[in-house]
Structure 1
């Protein structure tokens, strides 16, 4: 029998995806807990800017999920926690993947029936469903997945991507079949999900956060000659080839600039562009 917490008066469901378990992205309608002037001012600014607290809810029905370590907020129902090391070989594999990708060493497994709520955050989330496929994502994006999904490491396949891609030698690989929850740097409606069909995508900057397994990643000069690259004002481009999907977050650079500079300096978008690659 499905258990259910009464959340209808507190949270709005932004999206939902169902596999063996149900994943939901929820949003708090409003925060009213401030009891001092400083908090009240911050809440007022957040309300005017449309910044709302979000939380992921997972409904288990005799199923299992894996979470990023420390992601659990609370849970209800008949749910057990398992954190199997997998023996010496399993521990070694987890340790290597953790060192290579920067992901946490252990991803706790929760099994049973009930509801799990992950830590609330002012960040952003996205759900995707894998069907016997894999995606390569930026380190730190993984948040939760169904038990049928594996999280490991993928080595860059070209020297140029290793040395010039600003992604490191290894990235996080998520593979298998099932629902995955990602913690993303911008709202999902600001992600450009670019579909490629035996095509090429060239990106001036490091703002591709996900690519499917059929996409090859390299770094190349923007022009065939050094003089051409210099006169174009660019230099090197991140290049994605093949058939599949690439997720781009072009607005992230704007948010980064807002945190470190004034609005007036952003009226000239090419002023410091080459220094920020």
Structure 2
């Protein structure tokens, strides 16, 4: 859904989700504020390439949200800011979770009525509504959520995932009911949301960024040593059970384009198709 919300500032609303609070993902149609040649050239390239600046807007209606530390850009209205530690036990829990997941220790709570605008960026955002459930996400994806959602740490449940999964021993857990904002490395339209029903999916790489908590994550070797040697596959990340898994198959493509360019992508061997 793309809706123009402010013709003067040329802002388009990409998505919206409402519960106790209203969350919107906004996009600037184009940037026009360059005051020097170098910046103007960079903006021209970005505009022509379709690289857009985005911003999350949250509308509070006698409600409360938690933000990643440093995410706030500005706000207006009757809104107060608190760092709710939960006492000595809560403070200790936040400290441990921070050390385990790499997330910021304090996530300030904004409560009241008004509007909050988060820091604009060229990243991509996804809005998710949890209904008394838990999801496990990659560290660094959490951006904001309603107050009822608990942000914590989830330990890998198998030895193979701890040792060979390349996801760390702990990942970020989001549990409860409410809306969550995630910052993704690719557009949500390029996310493959795989629903499993007593089934499994095997992934060659670390491009799964979200799974529901009832999905089991393990690592296993390819079917045979000979097969591993001939097809180039070694260890596979396995997700099994009933629930949902989010995969980002295009994420590595962007990294490869940046590192080796389009020629390297079309000719992985580094040679022209016409060479003999």
| Cross-structure match for 1:261 | 260
Helix, strand or coil at the partner of 1:62: strand
Partner of 2:16: 16
Give the count of matched residue pairs.
Answer: 265
Q: What is the DSSP-based 3-state SS (H/G/I as helix, E as strand, rest coil) of the residue aligned with 2:106?
A: coil
Aligned to 2:81: 81
State the partner residue of 1:227: 226
Residue 78 of structure 2 aligns to a residue whose secondary structure is strand
Aligned partners of 2:69 and 2:107 also within 8 Å: yes
Task: Give the structure 1 partner of residue 142 of structure 2.
Answer: 142
Q: Which residue of 2 aligns with 1:153?
A: 153
Equivalent residues of 2:26, 2:55 under 8 A apart:
yes
Matches within 5 A, 1:81-100: 81-100=81-100
Of 230-239 and 153-162, the range deviating more from structure 2: 230-239
Q: Which residue of 2 aligns with 1:241?
A: 240
Provide Cα deviations, 1:127-161, integer angstroms capped at 9, x if missing partner.
00000001000000000000010000000000110
Deviations 1:88-129 (CA, angstroms, capped at 9, x unpaired): 111110000000000000000000000000000011100000
What is the alpha-carbon distance in structure 1 between the residues aligned to residue 158 and residue 88 of structure 2?
Answer: 31
| CA distance in 1 between partners of 2:268 and 2:245 (Å) | 24
Quick one: distance in 2 between partners of 1:56 and 1:147? 17
1:210 aligns with 2:210: yes
- Confirm whether residue 121 of structure 1 aligns to residue 124 of structure 2: no
Q: Indicate the residue corresponding to 2:31 in structure 1.
A: 31
Q: In structure 2, how many angstroms separate the alpha carbons of the residues matched to 1:73 and 1:113?
A: 17
Aligned equivalent of 2:251: 252
Which residue in 1 is equivalent to 2:60?
Answer: 60
Shift of 1:222: 1.6
Structure 1 residue 269, shift from structure 2 partner: 5.2
Corresponding residue for residue 131 of structure 1: 131
Residue 46 of structure 1 is matched in structure 2 by 46
Tell me what 2:274 maps to.
none
Q: Give the C-alpha shift of residue 266 in structure 1.
A: 1.0
Match of 1:274 in 2: none
State the alpha-carbon separation in 1 of the partners of residues 212 and 69 from structure 2: 25
Deviations 1:181-211 (A, max 9, x none): 0000101101011111111101111100000
- 1:164 equivalent to 2:164? Answer yes
Provide Cα deviations, 1:25-83, integer angstroms capped at 9, x if missing partner. Answer: 00011111001111111111101110010000000000000000000000010000011
TM-score, normalised via structure 1 length: 0.93
Cα RMSD for the two superposed structures: 1.3
Between the aligned partners of 2:267 and 2:51, the Cα distance in structure 1 is 27
SS for the counterpart of 2:63 is strand
